[in-house]
Amino acid sequence: MPRLRVNLLPPACAIALAAAAAALGACGGDNADPAAGKQLFTQRCGACHVLADAGTKGVQGPNLDLAFKEDVADGLGRSTIEGVVRKQIQLPQGGVMPANLVTGKDADAVAAYVASAIGRKGGATGGGGPSGTAKANAKNEVAIPTDPSGQLAYQVKSATAKAGKVTLVSKNDASVPHDIALKGGPAGPVVSGGATSKITANLKPGTYTFYCTVPGHEQAGMKGTLTVK
């Protein structure tokens, strides 16, 4: 079996499982749901970890794509990686991540998703980052929906509106909670499951930042630029 390169993980989060890697199989087996794991990962783990497939850009924990990059290249089975991730969820090393952040079937799903997603983009539920610019309608309302797959992102990274009364409308079809807010301005309600977060402000010409106030989401990249003319 290829050697598990645990030295790729930062010291605070290193997984001391090299000797036991051969004994760690996929804990979730065929019953684990990677699609559900993706949503759980973005909601509970994305603020700390980078994982390209999930679109997360956390800075506190290790970059998971890099952590297992060489192991995947060496042919380490993803089922073994799944077992390592599952064990790390249960008994994290370094005291940074709390133990059992997710448990039971949820933990199995997250481990299965992470193992399947490492080094890939657009996996379990698809993906794709934000693109394009949202433009205000005749009422000076701007639609800035969230990513429907549960990624920590809006579907656009920029928006434009006319000076005066501006309304930002953010529909969230995912189960991961989000809102929309302006830096130094109002914040809408945190919503999920098809509900809408909405704010209105009187804005002068200039550049503003819209973002999600849910802890960790802005840091993971859930923000954009509003240009008012």
Q: CA-to-CA distance for 228 and 215, rounded, in angstroms?
A: 27
Domains, the chain, ranges and CATH? 6-117 (1.10.760.10), 133-228 (2.60.40.420)
Segment 169-214, tens digit of pLDDT: 999 998 889 999 999 999 999 999 999 999 999 999 999 999 999 8
Q: CA-to-CA distance for 52 and 65, rounded, in angstroms?
A: 7
Say whether pLDDT at 127 is over 70: no
What single DSSP character describes residue 54?
G
* SS3 state of residue 158: strand
CB burial class (10 A; 0-12, 13-18, 19+) of residue 220? buried
The mean pLDDT of 137-142, rounded to a whole number, is 96
- Identify whether the C-beta of residue 162 lies closer than 8 Å to the C-beta of residue 228: yes
Helix (H) or strand (E) holding 34: helix 34-44
Q: Hey, CA dihedral for 142, 147, 152, 155, is it positive or negative?
A: negative
Segment 81-125, tens digit of pLDDT: 888 888 888 888 765 678 878 889 998 988 898 888 887 765 443
Segment 37-87, tens digit of pLDDT: 887 887 778 778 888 888 787 767 788 888 887 877 777 778 888 888 888
